[in-house]
Amino acid sequence: MAKVVAKEYIEFLEQLKEHIATSRYKAALVVNSRLILLYHHIGTEILKRQKEHGWGAKVIEQLSKDLKSIFPEMKGFSARNLKYMRRFAEEYPNVEFVQQVAAQLPWFHIVVIMDKIKDPQERLFYFQRAIEHGWSRSVMVMQIELGLYRRQGKAITNFKEKLPSPQSDLAHYTLKDPYIFDFLSIGDDAHEREIEKGLVGHMEKFLLELGEGFAFVGRQYHLEPV
């Protein structure tokens, strides 16, 4: 079959590529949203139980051990992370805000904002800008350290809920967020598949460039001993 190179086909392929990329990101965003809401729920319940029963900080250490025992594939239940969940719920008790704004960002983005910024208005500014511009965590940290909030003024403009482009740094970060893989219990396998895909891709390209005398047989091809 001759290779199709018609202009219409190229446009069709580009449209499909964009649609698939967008769908993948939106699917990851749904999972991320559920993860952030779970963390907020856990933090809220810790606060509630500590208040009701007078539990101290040691309950978090015990809870961490028990949750890691029950869900060994999930890395999000360290004592340190549970303390962040508690703090997240304490500083953001408004579930509506968590659903509409915070849940559009990966967990590490939220942790960075809580750690680096104390002023609520400044925090909101970076929440909004990270979503609007699709910042990766490293870009967001750079903007915080460069004082973007102070340079642009303290007035918060009207924020319209907006998904960043699927080509943005935030989209790529969300799709590869290890906490999401752990949440879905596919962490190690998913990472191995990504590594395998990358290595095999380079090997295939290298063999093709060598020309005659070399062949790429296939991925995970079974060889029988002689």
pLDDT of residue 179: 83
Q: What percent of the chain has pLDDT over 70?
A: 75
In the 8-state DSSP scheme, what is residue 119? -
Residue 2 pLDDT: 52
Closest by CA position to 83, among listed 119, 59, 108, 117: 59
DSSP-assigned letters across all residues of 86-108:
HHHHHH---HHHHHHTGGGS-HH
1 pLDDT more than 50: no
pLDDT at residue 159 greater than cutoff 60: no
Q: Whole-model pTM above 0.95?
A: no
Q: What is the mean pLDDT of the chain?
A: 84
Average pLDDT over residues 189-194: 56
**Exposure string (b/e) for 154-188, b if CB count within 10 Å is 16 or more?**
eeeeeeeeebbebebbbbebbbebebbbbbeeebe
What does the pLDDT average to over 20-26? Answer: 90
Give me the mean pLDDT over the 27-47 stretch.
95
Q: Is the pLDDT of residue 80 over 70?
A: yes
Backbone angle region of 213, left / alpha / beta, with phi > 0 → left and psi within -120 to 50 → alpha: left
List pLDDT tens digits, range 104-156: 999 999 999 999 999 999 999 999 999 999 999 999 999 999 999 998 865 55
Which of 13-27, 158-172, 181-195 shows the lowest mean pLDDT across its residues? 181-195
Cα(80)–Cα(66) distance, rounded to whole angstroms? 14
